[in-house]
A and B are shown apart, each in its own frame.
Chain A
Amino acid sequence: SQTIHQWPATLVQPVGSPLSLECTVEGTSNPNLYWYRQAAGRGLQLLFYSVGIGQISSEVPQNLSASRPQDRQFILSSKKLLLSDSGFYLCAWSGLAVEQFFGPGTRLTVL
């Protein structure tokens, strides 16, 4: 069966510091991969999605970037964090079907 991992689970970073969040999927090949941010327990804002290695689509211009160095690995990065980057970051995958399946999330606090 498929499993999606995210780490770290929580992160507290100072403003201006770099960021790297990692997501990996097991049990499937060539998944579509997604990064979302959720502010204050509300809806999900799609940040990036990828349909294959090295293919990244950006949905919202911002301080963040994404990379997909391997088929089942998706990384969210920032060179310099802003206060507004605080939030709950969720990684998700989908296969041939429409449904997306979510990882446990990373709660990021920027101080």
Chain B
Amino acid sequence: EDKVVQSPLSLVVHEGDTVTLNCSYEVTNFRSLLWYKQEKKAPTFLFMLTSSGIEKKSGRLSSILDKKELSSILNITATQTGDSAIYLCAAYFQGAQKLVFGQGTRLTINP
């Protein structure tokens, strides 16, 4: 069965800290891994990673995929209170037209 696991499930840090969120997957015919941020309602798309070892970056957020380890990390540097959210990762596999989501990591940034 296809599965995506995120860790930690919950993380509380102080503003200015750097955090690393983890996502591992067991997906047949894996093709891409996606990261979303969910603040209150609709998850918003952050990154899609297809190639191993190539970092994607947007401001203070960056992500990289390791196909050998079947995993991805999302880094957030110099965190701000606005980064508080649930971060979701999802795997897309060849032949499917759907995503398999992990449980999410609830990140709380305290001032």
Interface residues of A (CB under 8 A from B): 32, 34, 36, 41-46, 49, 51, 59, 90, 94, 98-105
Contact = CB atoms under 8 A, between A and B. Distances in A.
A66 to B, nearest CB: 13
Interface of B: 6, 31-32, 34, 41-45, 48, 86, 88, 90, 92, 97-104, 106
Identify which of A43, A44, A99 gathers the most chain B CB atoms within 10 Å of its CB.
Answer: A43
Contact of A102 (B42, B100, B103, B104): B42
Given A98-B34, A99-B45, A105-B42, A41 B106 contact: yes
Contacts, number: 51
B86 A100 contact: no
A44 B101 contact: yes
Contact of B103 (A36, A42, A104): A42
Contacts of B103: 42-43
Given A43-B102, A98-B34, A105 B88 contact: no
Contacts of B88: 43-44
Nearest to A98: B92
B96 to A, nearest CB: 9
B42 A104 contact: yes
